[in-house]
Amino acid sequence: MARKQGDSESGKLGNKILYTWHGRQCERSMPTHVANPQTEAQQSHRSNFALISKLSSYMKDAHLVGLHWLSIREHNSTYALFKHLNKDCFTPDGDINLPRIIVSKGSVPLVAITAAKVEHGVLTVTFDSRHYGGEPTDEFYLFVYCPALCAGRLATPVPRADGLVTAVLPDEWLHTDPTAATFPHSGNQGLHLYAFLRGKKGRTSDTIYIALQN
């Protein structure tokens, strides 16, 4: 509906749109149709965007922390950043390339994961506790993702100096053998582990990834 402001009008009036440009009253016709080409490339892009949008909700416990500092700098939400950073993380078959997923991004020095295993329903991950320019009080965050169930769990963070973090896994994540985990999904077997460090003022490291296979 058109609105009058002084001597000019703006808004929709019939099949026309009224607006002011450089102090002059102008109008343009409404488009007769909206372009929506159903090309193979566009359909693939829409499908990929839908997959990443779903994954952002499954991994929210990780990126809400891991991308928080960057979201403040970029004046954006962590959901939007997650989707932007991972928009090209796909295999040639259109599946999500889980090893390439980014849940954290920053300048805090990384550490290496040295071992990971599941025993009696408990995941234990050890990592290099040396500082490498970081701080011993930096916290190590571990997010465990189960693609078959589209579910994730964020372990309680520990200081970098500890060198070890544990997480109790839900029963439904475990194989009949209590010492093993199995999660078949589009060729991805086992648990997918995403870790990062969080230091002063909420700054974080880049993502540290490993897959825990059967």
Residue 184 in domain: yes
Residue owning tokens 């805090």 = 108
pLDDT score, position 9: 64
Domain count, the chain: 1
Please give the helix or strand (H or E) that residue 62 lies within, else none. Answer: helix 60-66
CATH number at residue 149: 2.60.40.10
Q: Residue ranges of the alpha helices (H) in 59-201?
A: 60-66, 68-74, 78-85
Long-range contacts (CB closer than 8 Å, 24 or more residues apart) made by 14-21: none
Residue 198 in domain: yes
Q: Residue 185 sits in which domain range?
A: 44-212
Residue 35 in domain: no
Residue 51 in domain: yes
Residue owning tokens 């499908």 = 47
Residue 202 in domain: yes
Residue 4 in domain: no
pLDDT per residue rounded down to tens, the chain (214 residues) = 445 555 566 667 677 777 676 667 777 777 666 566 666 555 555 566 788 889 999 999 999 999 999 999 999 999 999 999 998 888 877 788 999 999 999 999 999 999 998 888 899 999 998 877 777 789 999 999 988 888 999 999 999 999 999 999 988 887 534 344 433 333 334 789 999 999 988 999 999 999 986 5
Number of H helices, E strands in the chain: 4, 12
Instruction: Give strand pairing partners of 194.
Output: 143, 209
